[in-house]
Amino acid sequence: MTGNKLRVILGWKPTMFTKTRQSQIDGKAAGQMEGAGRQKMGRIIFATGNEGKMREIRMIMADMGMEILSMREAGIQVEAEENGRTYEENALIKARAVAAHASARAVAHAPARMAAAHAPARMAAAYTSASAASDRALAGTEADSEAGGLEPAPAGDIVLADDSGLEVDFLNKEPGIYSARYLGEDTPYSIKNAEIIRRLEGVTEEKRSARFVCAIAAVLPDGREITVRATIEGRIGYEEKGSHGFGYDPIFYVPELGKYTAELTEEEKNKISHRGKALRLMKEELKKL
């Protein structure tokens, strides 16, 4: 009996084992990739180097169970031109810039991590068919497209950034999104505060209404983006008061508390501040993931 006849009688086909085995290997590799995608997010990288801001962030986000780093602590040095027209746009500009930089670092270190943690996956990849490789490449391209061309942050990392400002109603909501650059980015806030008080000279108390605004943006590991916004209402005082806080805090008076924000302790400020409110909103959004 010839070899071909024997194969017919036994119902054995040379390609059957190959396809079945290939399917098992591809399935195992896909499972490993899916498992990696489901891994718990482990870090939050906040796009700031401001230590005062980081203290506030860590206090409010402490119960997230994630490591919270400034971008400097994460080894990232990048500057983004904040040319957006809203607080949300500027926050996203910063978050995307840090996420892209973090992603590039992750790609550079990926071979060593993969060799140590995913040796079985590498073996399986050796048997993966060209069509399967093409499918994965296509899927990656589609994911990048859905994320607006932005490479996702390293697996497990969430990048957050904020943009905030002071809006004074009598000054047509100045300085607004330009609060940090008002009178020049390097100008001391004591001078900025004095100028705002000067411009409100003679303005009655009811017309000195103002608010702090904060928008926080998140870029998730899969490229999705989230934005939230919060405010705190108050008035511009007639002089600087208080030694806590920073920026415009010494001239911002909160009527219901009878204090300037620079007179509040960190705990008091975190409960009512625009950034504190926005951080809590963002925390609730992240908990939904």
Residue 225 domain-assigned? yes
Average pLDDT value over all residues in the chain: 78
Which range has the worst mean pLDDT, 76-90, 111-125, 243-257? 111-125
* Model confidence at 263: pLDDT above 90: yes
CATH number at residue 209: 3.90.950.10
With respect to residue 200, please indicate whether it lies within any of the assigned structural domains: yes
Q: Tell me what the mean pLDDT of segment 221-241 comes to.
A: 97
What is the pLDDT confidence band of residue 25, given thresholds at 50, 70 and 90?
Answer: very low
More confident residue, 120 or 67: 67
Beta strands 67-70 and 43-46 are parallel
pLDDT of residue 155: 53
Q: Name the β-bridge partners of 226.
A: 218
* Percent of the chain whose predicted confidence (pLDDT) is above 90: 57
Look at residue 30 and tell me if it is in a domain.
yes
For residue 37, CA distances in Å to 123, 153, 157, 229 come to 19, 12, 12, 29
Question: Which pLDDT value is given to residue 53?
Answer: 85
Q: Is residue 112 part of a domain?
A: no
Please tell me the least confidently modeled range out of 18-32, 220-234, 263-277: 18-32
User: 85-96: per-residue pLDDT in tens?
Assistant: 999 999 999 999
Give the pLDDT confidence of 27-45 residue by residue, as tens digits. Answer: 444 444 444 444 455 799 9
Residue 249 annotated as catalytic: no
Does residue 64 lie in a domain region? no
| Residues of the domain holding 26 | 3-37
Catalytic residue from among 163, 169, 186, 222: 163
Question: How confident is the model over 211-224, as pLDDT tens digits?
Answer: 999 999 999 999 99
Rounded to the nearest 5 percent, the helix, strand and coil shares of the chain are: 55, 15, 30
pLDDT in the model for residue 79: 87
Cα separation, 127 vs 1, in Å, equals 34
Residue 108's pLDDT band (boundaries 50, 70, 90)? low
* C-alpha 241, offset from chain centre: 33
Q: How far apart, in whole angstroms, are the C-alpha atoms of residue 149 and residue 28? A: 29
Contact call for residues 121 and 33 (beta carbons, < 8 A): yes
Domain count across the chain: 2
Residue 242 banded pLDDT, cuts 50, 70, 90: very high
On whether residue 228 sits in a domain, the answer given is yes
Q: Is 69 part of any domain? A: no
Residue 81 lies in a domain: no
- Distance between CA 41 and CA 24 in Å, rounded? 29
